[in-house]
């Protein structure tokens, strides 16, 4: 029994350990007293751990402003992304045979366009509209599902919907909107989890749009701000590490929370009218 468990989980545990090592070093680096020369090689725990870096960081840079700004951006961009991606995905699912294949191919083709290729034209567009130095350029991609990839995630997920179920709904007179709400979305919880978490990390870590479109320091988001810390003296790297921890914690929290919300299905009780 125990051996079986070990066999099943050991590889996963090893992979997890490998990936969490940098996170661990990030945390331990943030606990190092500032002002010391950086350690030679790898140091798992500093000899005199201190939270000093977390105290100094908000004094040196407007950390809370950056956090707040990033939160505003994801609060808008993530729900919008989920909404648009699932609508588009459901729309493609409702197409029949050849047209569906064409739509999927078109989505794939758009996915292949490198973002850097549209930097200048996008900038020009946002300039003409007069929204440079606002969050509109950062959030606007969410109106196009952030990336066509999220649309495809929903397409793949909705492909599992039996035609019979959709037709039954149609016969009852349900509109596409009601089918999406009542039939498709409840069965695509995993896709929603995946898209929400991916969209969160994408917008939370969006450095390049913040760099290109934001001028006022009061609007700076976390990734843009953290980048400034990278140039600090090597003796001040605990500050950079502390900043990285502050940036990572919300992402980890969102993942854990989303996993709970979507996989343990706490809404089931609500739907049944019970708590």
Partner 1 sequence: MRAPRQVAQPCAALVLAATVLLSGCGGAGGGDGDPLRFVLFGDPTETAGYEELVAAFERENRDVEVTISPVAEQDDLMAKLTTAFAGGRPPDVFLINYRNYGQFASQGVLAPVQPRLDSSAVIDEGDFAAAALDAFRFDGSELTCLPQNVSSLVVYYNADLFAEAGLAPPRAGWTWDDFLTAAQTLTVDGRYGVGTEASTIRVAPFVWSAGGDVVDDPDEPTTLSLDTGEARRGLDFFLDLQTVHGVAPPERQEQAQDSEARFLAGQLGMYLNSRKSVPTLRTIDDFSWDVAPMPVAPGGEPATILHGDAYCIAGASEQQNQAWRFVEFANSVPGQTILARSGRTVPSRLDVARSRAFLRPDVPPASAEVFVDVIPTIRAVPHSASWPRVEKEADEIIEALYYGRIEREEGIRQLVESTRPLFAGPGS
Distances (CA, A) of 58 to 33, 64, 83, 225, 239: 16, 7, 35, 12, 10
100 vs 227, beta carbon nearer partner 1: 227
Residues in 237-256 at the binding interface with partner 1, rule: CB under 8 A? none
Residue 151, judged by CB atoms within 10 A of its CB (0-12, 13-18, 19+), counts as buried
Matching residue, tokens 């909107």:
177
Q: Which of 65, 134, 201, 248 is in the footprint of partner 1 by CB under 8 A? A: 134
Any contact of residue 230 with partner 1 (CB under 8 A)? yes
Q: Evaluate whether 258 touches 191 at the Cβ level (below 8 Å).
A: no
80 vs 245, beta carbon nearer partner 1: 80
Q: Which of 27, 53, 61, 197 is in the footprint of partner 1 by CB under 8 A? A: 61
Any contact of residue 227 with partner 1 (CB under 8 A)? yes
Question: Rounded CA gap, 257 and 187, in Å?
Answer: 19
Matching residue, tokens 């350690």:
39
CB atoms < 10 A from the CB of 76, how many? Answer: 16
131 vs 144, beta carbon nearer partner 1: 131
DSSP notation for 227-260: HHHTTS-GGGHHHHHHHHHHHHHHHHHHHHHHHH
Q: Which of 2, 271, 274, 275 is in the footprint of partner 1 by CB under 8 A? A: 271
167 vs 265, beta carbon nearer partner 1: 265
Q: 203: which 2 tokens?
A: 């917008």
Distances (CA, A) of 42 to 13, 28, 135, 240, 245: 22, 10, 39, 17, 18
Choices 13-21, 37-45, 46-54, 106-114; region in contact with partner 1 by CB under 8 A: 37-45
Choices 2-10, 96-104, 213-221, 247-255; region in contact with partner 1 by CB under 8 A: 213-221
Any contact of residue 135 with partner 1 (CB under 8 A)? yes
Matching residue, tokens 């940098």:
22
Residues in 76-105 at the binding interface with partner 1, rule: CB under 8 A? 76, 79-80, 83
Q: Which of 120, 168, 252, 257 is in the footprint of partner 1 by CB under 8 A? A: 120
Q: 217: which 2 tokens?
A: 């320091």
104 vs 195, beta carbon nearer partner 1: 195
For the CB of residue 252, give the shortest distance to partner 1 in the complex, in Å: 23
As a 3-state breakdown, the chain gives helix, strand, coil percent values, each rounded to 5, of 75, 0, 25
For the CB of residue 191, give the shortest distance to partner 1 in the complex, in Å: 14
For the chain, counts of helices (H) and of strands (E): 14, 0
CB atoms < 10 A from the CB of 240, how many? Answer: 22
For the CB of residue 76, give the shortest distance to partner 1 in the complex, in Å: 4
| Interacting residues with partner 1 (CB under 8 A) | 35, 37-38, 40-41, 60-61, 72, 75-76, 79-80, 83, 119-124, 126-127, 131-136, 139, 178, 181-182, 185-186, 208, 211-212, 214-217, 219, 224, 227-235, 267, 270-271
């Amino acid at each position: 029994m125990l051996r079986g468990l070990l066999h099943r989980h050991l590889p996963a545990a090893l992979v997890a350990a490998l990936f969490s090592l940098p996170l661990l070093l990030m945390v331990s680096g943030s606990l190092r007293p500032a002002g010391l020369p950086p350690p030679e090689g790898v140091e798992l725990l500093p000899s005199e751990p201190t939270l000093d870096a977390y105290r100094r960081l908000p004094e040196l840079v407007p950390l809370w402003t950056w956090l707040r700004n990033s939160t505003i951006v994801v609060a808008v961009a993530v729900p919008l992304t989920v909404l648009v991606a699932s609508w588009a995905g459901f729309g493609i699912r409702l197409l029949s045979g050849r047209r569906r294949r064409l739509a999927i191919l078109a989505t794939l083709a758009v996915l292949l366009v490198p973002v850097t290729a549209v930097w200048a034209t996008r900038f020009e567009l946002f300039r003409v509209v007069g929204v440079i130095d606002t969050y509109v350029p950062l959030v606007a991609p969410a109106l196009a599902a952030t990336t066509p990839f999220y649309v495809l995630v929903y397409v793949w997920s909705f492909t599992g919907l039996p035609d019979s179920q959709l037709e039954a709904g149609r016969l009852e007179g349900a509109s596409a909107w009601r089918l999406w709400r009542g039939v498709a979305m409840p069965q695509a919880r995993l896709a929603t989890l995946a898209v929400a978490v991916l969209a969160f990390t994408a917008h939370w870590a969006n450095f390049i749009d913040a760099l290109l479109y934001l001028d006022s320091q009061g609007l700076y988001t976390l990734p843009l701000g953290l980048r400034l810390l990278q140039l600090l003296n090597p003796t001040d790297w605990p500050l950079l590490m502390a900043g990285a921890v502050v940036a990572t914690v919300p992402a980890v929290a969102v993942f854990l929370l989303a996993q709970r919300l979507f996989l343990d299905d706490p809404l089931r009780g609500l739907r049944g009218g019970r708590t």
